[in-house]
Each structure stands twice: as structure tokens, then as C-alpha cells.
């Protein structure tokens, strides 16, 4: 059976056609861009996604027919908290407000006094990344748009509507809204009242990893894909990426060092001692939850430093050599990697990047190493928080920065843990495939799908060793102390 996975990212959309054993046949990727504006605002034209979706489906369909391959199902995974306001004709009213948009910061600040209750119900304290604040901002600042809104939709909700005509959203996206009760998995009246959003304007909640509908005759005509094939919601991209890495049961942790850093660990139930130092969301595995921690800048901070201070060293190998010129601890230099604010545990949008303990003996390579060590320290804080709720016995690493062996060795020592890096780089696509294959009954569970499709193929391991482990523990404490002195506990 062949499944076409659609992966909707922030900078591009891609479609990959694979069989249910993970063998890739063909694919297509289309790039687009976010519109960044003053005041931390970020928007995107929904036509970008509509055009990309239809173009990818048509292209892959033509290639499949030429290769005598069938397309038996479509699985969709996507960015999680961007929103569209749809009118009563189910047309978008203007640009989408993107997940990284900060315009709702003032609204979230007003709600801080309710944070304990918001966290208890929704799994996260109020923050501008989640979608409820964006909806509240529209109500307060674009009253005409709010009044005409029939449904608020995330990007995957919109695409599923284009393909099936159905209006729904799955639990993984609902749990990124501040409006769904993570325990009951229903829109919560108390949260709706806090954010002043009407339930009638929200999509019906459905189980993640389920069939959201079937391809309509109209969509089939536009795309060339077979009419009536099932369209499966595989859940959020981070959830699917974690599954592709192996987070299919409790005790496994995925660390993604991409544009930002994401840590995800699976739990079978919401921990009784859960505190707001992590985020609790619904998993893409039915009945399961994920605990999340995030670092807002990883590759983006590294790329900034490389472009500004190493314009002559483009290759990763050359940068690796520079890292090795400085020893563990970066000659005393410490970097606080909050170049776009801090994510968990406190969502401090006022935090900025800092280099501390710079002397006349500090070299460029020391600052580079301290930046990477700072990223590891912050990820290490997230891992420490995760270990309060689950026994982590395996850590998988992925993302752009993990292409560097020097960085991976640094990670193993900072986390004082054995790390596993899978050879496959398309973890999100493969995770969505596993969810879809289980939903179609091709495997008994997502965990079985992972074992059959990927297991531990092409894996490389990194181990903590040497005196640097203890040294890094001391430096992480120093970085955290600097943060507390700058911003409070």
C-alpha cells in the first residue's frame, strides 16, 4: 500500500510517496516564505499552502502513474499553532497569523494571574505561540473579522477541508490552543471564557491518527489523485518527528536541534506531579501524551554567528575545526542562547542573547564554542525537567546541528547520556507514515510500525566520557545563575 505524506513546514511543503514499509518512490517540495513585520508579527498568504498542496499532489500523481504506482491514502502532518479566520463561505479572510507571531503577548501577560489554572486545564501556561491568544487578538483588534469568522482553523485543518470538505481538527492541534482540556480532550468552557473565544467558531475535535475524510471529486479532478482515498490526520509535525525518531513509548526522548530546539518525551498518562516547566500535549499515538520543552534558537543562532564572524568558512568541516580549537568550557566564556527569547519553562520574550566572562584572552573560536555549549546547557535544562516525570532510558538526536560530530560529542557530555543519531533525516515524514499505516490497520500499533519500518537502522551512538562531564555540569549551573540574576527566578 502506498501513502502520500504531506509535511507542511514553516518554509516549505513537501509531499513524499512511500509504501507502507518505508520505501520512498518519489516526492516534491515547494518553498514559500513567511512575511515578517515590525513588533514581532509574522503572517503568511494562505494561497501559498493551497497552491503548494495542489501542485505537489498533481506532480506526485503524475509521477506515480508514469511509474505504475498507486496512491492509496494521503497523510497530513503540519506546523501546529498558526491560524486562519474563515468566513461563512469557508474562504480565508486575509493572511494567516503564524505560530511565531508575538502580537498576542500583551493578552497573554494579562492572563498571567490565571496561569496555574490555564496550565492545569490546557497543559501550558499562556504564551503567544499557542493559537488562543491569536484568536483573542483578532476579537479585540479586528472586530469585523472576528464577527464574520465562521471557523478558526490551523493550517492542516484548512488543507484537510480543501481535500475532503470536512471541518475538523485533531487533538494534537487542539492541545496547542489553550482552549482544549488535555484530560477530557474537549473544548473547555472555562478556558473559552478566559480567552473570550466562542466554541461555535472552533472546529470539531477528532482523534489523532484517524481518517478525517475522503478525497472529494473536485479535489481529485484538480490533483489527479484517486477520488475517495482516505485522508489521515497524522498530527503535529513535532509529534510526528518524535515518532520518526523512535518516541513510541515511555522512556524515550527526542532532541531536535533544528532552527529551534525541541525536546519530546512520551508518557502514557499525565503525571500527577506535573509542573509548568514543561508543556503537556496530546501525542500522535492514540491515547498517549507528550511532554515538550523548547529552545527558541539553535541553528538560527549558529547560522547568525557563522555568517557574521565566519563569512570565509562556509563548510561544516571548517566550522568543526574551529570548535576543536577551543577546549571544553570555551576558555571561560559562557553564552546565554536566548536570541529570540526563552521558551520553556517561563516563555520569557524579553530575554536576549548574552556572552559573559569575555576577556582579552577570549578568541572567536571560544565564543563559537560557548554559543554551542549554551544551546546544549539549555537543552540540558529541558532534559533535567523531563526526568522529573519519566525515566529517560534512551535519547535520540536529530536536526541540522547534529550533522556535526563535534556538537554531538559535546551534547553527550553535557547531558551525561548515551545519544543515538538515526541516519534518516526525514523523521517527520516517516513518523507520519507510521501513524497513517497504523490507522489503516497495516500494523497493530505505531510502535510496531516503527519497529518494522525503521527500528535502529543506520544509527550512530555517542557516549559521555572524560572530565568534561563534570565541568559542563558546573558551567550549566553558572549559565542558569546568570539568567536568574538578569531576569529573576
Query: pLDDT tier at 425 (50, 70, 90 boundaries)?
Result: low
The Cα–Cα gap between 399 and 256 comes to 5
pLDDT tens digits, 163-193 = 999 999 999 999 999 999 999 999 999 999 9
- Mention every residue, 6+ apart, whose C-beta is less than 8 A from residue 195: 107, 111, 132, 133, 135, 136, 178, 179
DSSP structure string for 289-343: EEEEEEES-SHHHHHHHHHHH-TT--SHHHHHHHHHHS-TTGGG-EEE--BTB--
In the three-class reduction of DSSP (H, G, I as helix; E, B as strand; rest coil), residue 151 is classed as strand
The Cα–Cα gap between 272 and 319 comes to 44
Query: pLDDT tier at 258 (50, 70, 90 boundaries)?
Result: confident
Average per-residue pLDDT for the chain: 94
**Percent of the chain with pLDDT strictly greater than 70:** 98
CA distances from 48 to 7, 31, 89, 164 (A): 14, 9, 19, 19
Q: Which set of grid coordinates corresponds to residue 318? A: 571548517
pLDDT tens digits, 349-402 = 889 999 999 999 999 999 999 999 999 999 999 999 999 999 998 899 988 889
- Encode 217-244 in three state secondary structure: HHHHHHHCCCCCCEEEEEEEHHHHHHHH
Q: What is the pLDDT of residue 314?
A: 67
Domains of the chain: 2-228 (3.30.420.40), 240-489 (3.30.420.40)
- Mention every residue, 6+ apart, whose C-beta is less than 8 A from residue 312: none
The Cα–Cα gap between 479 and 359 comes to 17
Strand duo 334-336 + 289-295: pairing:
unpaired
Q: What is the pLDDT of residue 325?
A: 94
Nearest 10 degrees: CA dihedral of 164, 59, 425, 262?
-40
In the three-class reduction of DSSP (H, G, I as helix; E, B as strand; rest coil), residue 96 is classed as strand
pLDDT tens digits, 276-289 = 999 999 999 999 99
Query: pLDDT tier at 203 (50, 70, 90 boundaries)?
Result: very high
- Mention every residue, 6+ apart, whose C-beta is less than 8 A from residue 374: 334, 335, 336, 337, 479
In the three-class reduction of DSSP (H, G, I as helix; E, B as strand; rest coil), residue 270 is classed as coil
Q: Which set of grid coordinates corresponds to residue 229? A: 482515498
pTM for this entry: 0.89
In the three-class reduction of DSSP (H, G, I as helix; E, B as strand; rest coil), residue 83 is classed as strand
The Cα–Cα gap between 237 and 7 comes to 7
DSSP structure string for 153-188: EEHHHHHHHHHH---EEEHHHHTTTT-EETTTTEE-
Q: Which set of grid coordinates corresponds to residue 454? A: 525503521
The Cα–Cα gap between 98 and 295 comes to 18
Amino acid at each position: 500500500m502506498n501513502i502520500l505524506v504531506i509535511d507542511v513546514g514553516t518554509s516549505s511543503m513537501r509531499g513524499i510517496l512511500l509504501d507502507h514499509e518505508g520505501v520512498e518512490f518519489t516526492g516534491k517540495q515547494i518553498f514559500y516564505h513567511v512575511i515578517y513585520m515590525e513588533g514581532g508579527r509574522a503572517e503568511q498568504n494562505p494561497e501559498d499552502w493551497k497552491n503548494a498542496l495542489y501542485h505537489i499532489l498533481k506532480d506526485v500523481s503524475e509521477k506515480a502513474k508514469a511509474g505504475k504506482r498507486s496512491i492509496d491514502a494521503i497523510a497530513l502532518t503540519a506546523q501546529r499553532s498558526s491560524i486562519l479566520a474563515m468566513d461563512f463561505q469557508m474562504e480565508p479572510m486575509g493572511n494567516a497569523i503564524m505560530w511565531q507571531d508575538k502580537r498576542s503577548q500583551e493578552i497573554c501577560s494579562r492572563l498571567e494571574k490565571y496561569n496555574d489554572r490555564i496550565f492545569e486545564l490546557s497543559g501550558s501556561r499562556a504564551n503567544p505561540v499557542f493559537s488562543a491568544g491569536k484568536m483573542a487578538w483578532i476579537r479585540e483588534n479586528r472586530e469585523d473579522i472576528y464577527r464574520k469568522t465562521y471557523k478558526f482553523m490551523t493550517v492542516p485543518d484548512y488543507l484537510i477541508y480543501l481535500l475532503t470538505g470536512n471541518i475538523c481538527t485533531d487533538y494534537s492541534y487542539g492541545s496547542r490552543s489553550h482552549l482544549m482540556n488535555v484530560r477530557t480532550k474537549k473544548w473547555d468552557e472555562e478556558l473559552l471564557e478566559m480567552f473570550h473565544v466562542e466554541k461555535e467558531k472552533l472546529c470539531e475535535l477528532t482523534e489523532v491518527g484517524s481518517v478525517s475524510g475522503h478525497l472529494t471529486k473536485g479535489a481529485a479532478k484538480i490533483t489527479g489523485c484517486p477520488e475517495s482515498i482516505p485522508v489521515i490526520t497524522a498530527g503535529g509535525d513535532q509529534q510526528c518527528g518524535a515518532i520518526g525518531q523512535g518516541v513510541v513509548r515511555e522512556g524515550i526522548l527526542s532532541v531536535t536541534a533544528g532552527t529551534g530546539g525541541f525536546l519530546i518525551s512520551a508518557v502514557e498518562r499525565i503525571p500527577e506531579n506535573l509542573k509548568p516547566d514543561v508543556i503537556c500535549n496530546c501525542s500522535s499515538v492514540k491515547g498517549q501524551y507528550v511532554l515538550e520543552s523548547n529552545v527558541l534558537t539553535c541553528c538560527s543562532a549558529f547560522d547568525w554567528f557563522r555568517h557574521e564572524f565566519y563569512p570565509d568558512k562556509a563548510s561544516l568541516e571548517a566550522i568543526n575545526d574551529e570548535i576543536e580549537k577551543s577546549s571544553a568550557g570555551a576558555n571561560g566564556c559562557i553564552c546565554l542562547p536566548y536570541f529570540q527569547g526563552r521558551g520553556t519553562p517561563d516563555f520569557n520574550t524579553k530575554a536576549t542573547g548574552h556572552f559573559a566572562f569575555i576577556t582579552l584572552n577570549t578568541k572567536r573560536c571560544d565564543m563559537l564554542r560557548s554559543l554551542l555549549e549554551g544551546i546544549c546547557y539549555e537543552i540540558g535544562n529541558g532534559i533535567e525537567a523531563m526526568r522529573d516525570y519519566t525515566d529517560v532510558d534512551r535519547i535520540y538526536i536529530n536536526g541540522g546541528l547534529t550533522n556535526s560530530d563535534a556538537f554531538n560529542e559535546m551534547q553527550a557530555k553535557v547531558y551525561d547520556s548515551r545519544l543515538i543519531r538515526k541516519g534518516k533525516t526525514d523523521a517527520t515524514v516517516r513518523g507520519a507514515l507510521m501513524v497513517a499505516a497504523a490507522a489503516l490497520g497495516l500494523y497493530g500499533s505505531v510502535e510496531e510500525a516503527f519497529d518494522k519500518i525503521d527500528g535502529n537502522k543506520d544509527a550512530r551512538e555517542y557516549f559521555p566520557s572524560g572530565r568534561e562531564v563534570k565541568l559542563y555540569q558546573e558551567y550549566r549551573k553558572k549559565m542558569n545563575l546568570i539568567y536568574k540574576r538578569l531576569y529573576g527566578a
